[in-house]
């Protein structure tokens, strides 16, 4: 039987409306109950942004990637619809025999990539051949896509503020114990930031790195925090900052609430104006980065059968 190749994009998932937050959080915590105050706070955040755009944007990314490659592209979410298990079942029904799988978190962590992989593969044998891309934090077109967004944001900020503000690159924090156990996430996140800064010709002292969105669970989480970095830059005499999250590839609650609402208010309360680089979303360079990842995993037989040239 001839091979039928597909691409599978995996993402975190998010509820479509605030009322679905409790059910969503049960999936995130694998059923572990959370204090009512935590649930109410997250419901409040979703109510302020209306709805997370993660799912529609990710589906759009999959659509554009499919057009670029001429291959079927599926999208599965770990914590919401379309559930990874349901998408995997659909792929089996469609006769897929091999899938190139990309977790839409460029930096590898067992708290993200590892959990997505487990959700896809389960405990038994895979229903089709899986070529799982574990990390792609330094993919050239990913860096180029971030640089493109960053330069546009710096130009807007300079026009409004009068000069280019220092840049704070951010990535989602994880518990410190994760890194102590050998997880490469923190090192890869900082490396992505360094590559973007270098490609954007930012001098030392013109950019900083911070972890955002520290969790509400017990135990220390990775820092420095965005808040501490903003106040530190204020003490150095800066009256504006520009944030670029380099651990996320689309708009969702950590961008639309944490940055656009919470960090912006925090900065304003400390006399600092906050700007943000636009998320990658449907950036052509970002779609090219995904396509390059796929092409890099194609065999000569794949390329001949699909007419997609290997990278």
Contact assessment for residue 46 and residue 21, using Cβ atoms and an 8 Å cutoff: yes
Nearest to 168 by CA among 140, 139, 190, 141: 190
The predicted-structure confidence for 164-182, as pLDDT tens digits, reads as follows 999 999 999 999 999 999 9
Write out pLDDT tens, residues 97-117.
999 999 999 999 998 888 999
Helix (H, G, I), strand (E, B) or coil at 194: helix
Using alpha carbons, list the distances in angstroms from residue 91 to 55, 120, 197. 19, 12, 39
Residue 92: per-residue pLDDT = 95
* 149 close to 255: Cβ distance less than 8 angstroms: no
Query: Residue 218: pLDDT band by 50, 70, 90 thresholds?
Result: low
Residue with tokens 């959080």: 25
Q: What tens digit of pLDDT does each residue of 56-89 get?
A: 999 999 999 999 999 999 999 999 999 999 999 9
Location of each CATH 3.40.50.1400 domain in the chain:
5-16+52-135+283-306, 140-276
pTM score, two decimals? Answer: 0.96
Confidence of residue 52 (pLDDT cuts 50, 70, 90): confident
CA distance 57 to 59: 5
Q: Kindly tell me if the per-residue pLDDT of 204 is higher than 90.
A: yes
Lowest-pLDDT choice from 44-48, 126-130, 254-258 = 126-130
Q: What CATH number does the domain located at 5-16+52-135+283-306 have?
A: 3.40.50.1400
Share above pLDDT 90 across residues of the chain, in percent, rounded to a whole number? 87
Of these ranges, 30-39, 217-226, 242-251, the one predicted with the greatest mean pLDDT is: 242-251
Q: How confident is the model at residue 259 (pLDDT cuts 50, 70, 90)?
A: very high
Fold of 140-276: Rossmann fold (3.40.50)
| Distance separating alpha carbons of residues 194 and 291, to the nearest angstrom | 23
pLDDT of 1 > 70? The answer is no
């Amino acid at each position: 039987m001839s091979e039928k190749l597909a691409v599978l994009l995996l993402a975190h998932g998010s509820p479509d409306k605030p009322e679905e937050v409790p059910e969503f959080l049960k999936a995130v915590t694998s059923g572990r109950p959370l204090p009512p105050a935590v649930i109410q706070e997250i419901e409040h955040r979703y109510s302020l942004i209306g709805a997370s755009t993660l799912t529609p944007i990710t589906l759009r990314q999959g659509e554009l990637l499919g057009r670029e490659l001429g291959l079927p592209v599926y999208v599965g979410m770990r914590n919401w619809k379309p559930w990874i298990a349901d998408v995997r079942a659909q792929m089996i029904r469609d006769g897929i025999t091999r899938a190139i799988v990309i977790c839409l978190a460029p930096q590898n962590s067992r708290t993200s990539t590892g959990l997505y992989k487990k959700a896809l593969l389960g405990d038994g044998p895979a229903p089709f051949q899986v070529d799982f891309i574990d990390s792609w934090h330094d993919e050239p077109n990913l860096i180029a896509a971030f640089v493109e967004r960053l330069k546009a944001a710096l130009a807007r900020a300079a026009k409004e503020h009068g000069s280019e503000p220092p840049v704070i690159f951010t990535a989602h924090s994880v518990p410190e114990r994760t890194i102590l156990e050998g997880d490469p996430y923190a090192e890869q996140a900082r490396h992505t930031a360094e590559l973007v800064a270098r490609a954007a010709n930012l001098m030392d002292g013109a950019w900083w790195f911070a972890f955002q969105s520290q969790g509400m669970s017990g135990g220390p989480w990775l820092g420095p925090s965005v808040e501490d970095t903003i106040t530190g830059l204020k003490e150095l005499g800066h009256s504006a900052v520009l944030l670029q999250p380099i651990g996320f590839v689309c708009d969702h609650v950590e961008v639309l609430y944490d940055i656009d609402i919470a960090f912006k208010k925090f900065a304003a309360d400390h006399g600092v104006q906050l700007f943000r680089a636009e998320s990658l979303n449907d950036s052509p360079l970002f779609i090219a980065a995904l396509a390059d990842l796929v092409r890099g995993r194609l065999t000569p037989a794949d390329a001949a059968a699909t007419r997609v040239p290997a990278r």
